[in-house]
Structure 1
Amino acid sequence: MLAPISCNGYSIYFNEDGYEKLKHYIVERNPSRIFILTDENTNEHCIPVFMGKMPADFTAEIIEIEAGEPHKTIATCSQVWQVLSELGADRKSLLINLGGGVVTDLGGFVASTFMRGIDFVNVPTSLLAMVDASVGGKTGVDLGPLKNQVGVINVPGILIADTSMLMTLPANQMRSGLAEMLKHGLIQDRNYWAAFRDLSALDMNDLDVLIRDSIMIKNNIVMQDPREAGLRKSLNFGHTLGHAIESYFLQAPEKDTLLHGEAIAIGMILETWLSAKTRQFPEDTLEEITRIILSYFPKVTIEKEDIAPIISYLKYDKKNAHGHINFLLLKDIGAPVIDVRVPDDLLIRSFSYYNGQPQTV
């Protein structure tokens, strides 16, 4: 059994242990009503798994939203707030967010703001949500194509990481979560990063341990800097350009929408190259990182005319201050440098580096 992880104000439990803790949590809190927020995918594939692990007399109202990043909006929140109100939710109600990062981000924000705050529990069902989105207390929604512009920091009562839920995921969704695990290794732990050089020999037990280790890395950073005053910014490696790419592909009608991890994978390659050019990051390690990331993530076509609008999205990044775009870069694996400014000409050249790489998937 995987040991639980203590966080700021809550705990993360794994697999069957999580459901036992949830049963006790419900008895102790004695909520007036229980609601489960899902999307159409998790309602179909994960609700039966979840309900099968709860007591026979467990009852809850299910609220379903549309799946996908385009629906992570205030408009969706308004619909959920309205449904909660119509179904008689009060300040003693409990909202269980059962889904991927969109559901846990949006559900946490809905719970934190409905009647000025009700209890919520996160049950992430995607790898991305388990190792990143549902950990650390960040909740919120997008503002048009701009990622996570509206939200609050608030923690769930408990979090259950049930890795059996991952069996319901398509391959691209598993890869999306893998990007955040790769990031955790790059910013914090060379040995952890080394585990991803070849995953072919790993079984499910090995994956469980890697997932727990990834959560531990993020949680240790969040525990030291819960409000992102300094160290927590290291979790944004790959995200400054990655979010800009994700936003651009989300709104460009001729582009296929990228999953979060797919965009972050590109961002990590670009920002590792920038690290090599501005922070003397080792060139041989840059080549290794690029090769490993591209062994998991298909190359994405980024045309020359895409680069300027992608860069224009950088002005919305939440790490910016006083009109300056701030990057999180690396001196080496496990040695992040916060608040780095990068000239525009290097940004443009970083895309040339990415586009010049051979496809290895």
Structure 2
Amino acid sequence: METIQATTYPIHFNEKAYSELAVLIEQNAYSSIFILVDDNTFECCYPRFIQNLETKTQIEVIQIDPGEVHKNIETCVGVWNVMTELGADRKSLLITLGGGVITDLGGFVASTFKRGIDFVNIPTTLLSIVDASVGGKTGIDLGVLKNQIGVFANPQMVLIDPEYLHTLSAREIRSGTAEIIKYGMTHDIYLFNEIKDNPEVNIIDLIHKSIAIKNEVVTEDPKEKGLRKVLNWGHTMGHGVESYFLENPNKEALTHGEAIAIGMVCEAFISAKTQGFPTKKLEEIKDAIIAIYGKVTIENSDIEHIMNLLKHDKKNEAGVVKFVLLKDYEDFVINAEASEQIIEESLNFYRQ
């Protein structure tokens, strides 16, 4: 896979990525290297990574608990304290080795420690490979409200090694696939069709095209003033559902991709109601999503709570919920609005 050049950093693939990382470390003469992992990536991914890391610079590993529930300021404080105790300075490098929680939180930790040190993202889940690690968004959750605190900060490099995907469960692969489906519906229908029509598709073959789409959008609109909002397709409704399932002790937490998949069904319904999105394609989306992800039980009593969480979505403006909606595949509208009634109907459409 060829290197993709983002605005200020390269995205390298496979073996070339490790050699380029070695060059980066040598050229910048870092005083120390900190590698941020969680329990899972330390066990499953760190051995492969450290085998491929060529450097004589001092290395320290910082290990945190896995999961979205730990993507918060308390975890950041713990990491900042450990870095301070171990003598990190402005010439230190932080390498994030993990999924979206690690790359989001690690980037935020690095970009705020001593007003900012260099960091490198090495995503190890499909979700973080095709989405979280690229684009310069860093951040943490505020309670159950996702990504409420953060900054835009670019890494020095993103290193993509698809071998890490072999450590993932089928559920985690499906989670990341939702973001590829998103790119397909908004930018290149080939991606959606490949996943929808071919259950045996090799998802690795779709990675490069997915990253290229995201990079193209982010390069044009790095601070999400306009076009970049298209990357939120499925995410307004999806984040509401994800947050509700995260905070409700009677619900099993959803993966990010599972929630976004529900969000795409709901937002396709809203698109059909408000933008003329074809009903036949709405049914196609619903059938494909349920075939891939199964059906999540959303009770009628859940809807009010999900609606309340939508009001806190970070994309809202003046208290109005904002959506990315589709007129057709590859034809989207940003900053679209919908009535509360239609939003509720979209959840009922999914439930039916």
TM-score, normalising length: structure 2: 0.98
Q: Distance in 1 between matches of 2:261 and 2:320?
A: 24
In the alignment, the residues of structure 2 paired with residue 202 and residue 235 of structure 1 have an alpha-carbon distance, to the nearest angstrom, of 23
Does the alignment pair 1:291 with 2:290? no
In the alignment, which residue of structure 1 is the partner of 2:331?
335
Opposite residue 175 of structure 1, the aligned amino acid is R
Counterpart of 1:239?
235
The 5 Å alignment of 1:1-361 reads 2-55=1-54, 57=56, 59-203=58-202, 207-356=203-352
For 2:31 and 2:251, locate their aligned partners in 1 and report how far apart those are by CA, in whole Å.
Answer: 46
How many residues end up aligned between the 2 structures? Answer: 352
Q: Could you say what secondary structure the match of 1:202 adopts?
A: coil
Contact 2:22–2:55 at 8 Å: present in 1 too?
A: no
**Deviations for 1:150-200, whole angstroms, at most 9, x for unmatched residues?**
000001000011000000001111111000000011111122322212333
Distance (whole Å) between structure 1 residues aligned to residue 324 and residue 87 of structure 2: 45
Q: Distance in 2 between matches of 1:305 and 1:254?
A: 13
Aligned-residue identity in percent: 51
Letter in 1 for 2:50: M
Q: Quick one: distance in 2 between partners of 1:169 and 1:15?
A: 18
- CA separation in 2, counterparts of 1:26 and 1:38? 19
Unmatched tracts of structure 1, length 5 or more: 357-361
Per-residue deviation at 1:47? 0.2
Which AA in structure 1 matches 2:38?
D
Q: Secondary structure at the match of 1:130?
A: helix
What residue is the counterpart of 1:359 in the other structure? none
The CA deviation string for residues 289-311 of structure 1, in whole angstroms up to 9 with x for no partner, is 11111111021100000000101
SS state of the match for residue 55, structure 1?
Answer: coil
Q: Secondary structure at the match of 1:263?
A: helix
Q: Deviations over 1:38-94 (max 9, x none)?
A: 000000000001011123756510000100000000000000000000000000000
| Corresponding letter in the other structure for 1:119 | D
d(CA) in 2 for partners of 1:308, 1:117: 41
Cα distance in structure 1, aligned partners of 2:34 and 2:300: 47
Question: In 2, distance between residues paired with 1:300 and 1:58?
Answer: 48
Cα shift at 1:36: 0.1
2:6 and 2:74 mapped to 1: Cα distance? 31
Superposition RMSD in Å: 1.1
Do the aligned partners of 2:100 and 2:132 also contact (CA within 8 Å) in 1? yes
Deviations 1:78-113 (A, max 9, x none): 000000000000000000000000000000000000
- 1:232 corresponds to which letter in structure 2? R
Question: Counterparts of 2:57 and 2:246 in 1: how far apart (Å)?
Answer: 39
- Name the SS for the 1:316 alignment partner: coil
Aligned partner letter, 1:319: K
Q: Which runs of 5+ in 2 are unaligned?
A: none
Structure 1: distance between partners of 2:226 and 2:131:
18
**Residue type of the alignment partner of 1:250:** L
CA distance in structure 2 between the aligned counterparts of 1:351 and 1:99, rounded to whole angstroms = 32
How far did 1:209 drift? 3.0
CA distance in 1, matches of 2:210, 2:67: 24
1-structure distance, mates of 2:98, 2:108: 14
CA contact (8 A) 2:120 2:156 kept: yes
C-alpha distance in 1 between matches for 2:26 and 2:198: 41
State the one-letter code of the partner of 1:105. Answer: D
Give secondary structure in 1 for the equivalent of 2:12: strand
Task: Give the Cα separation in 2 of the matches to 1:126 and 1:138.
Answer: 17
**Aligned residues of 2:25 and 2:55 also touching (Cα < 8 A):** no
SS at match of 2:335: strand
Shift, 1:323, TM fit: 1.9
Matches of 2:221 and 2:185 in 1, distance apart?
19
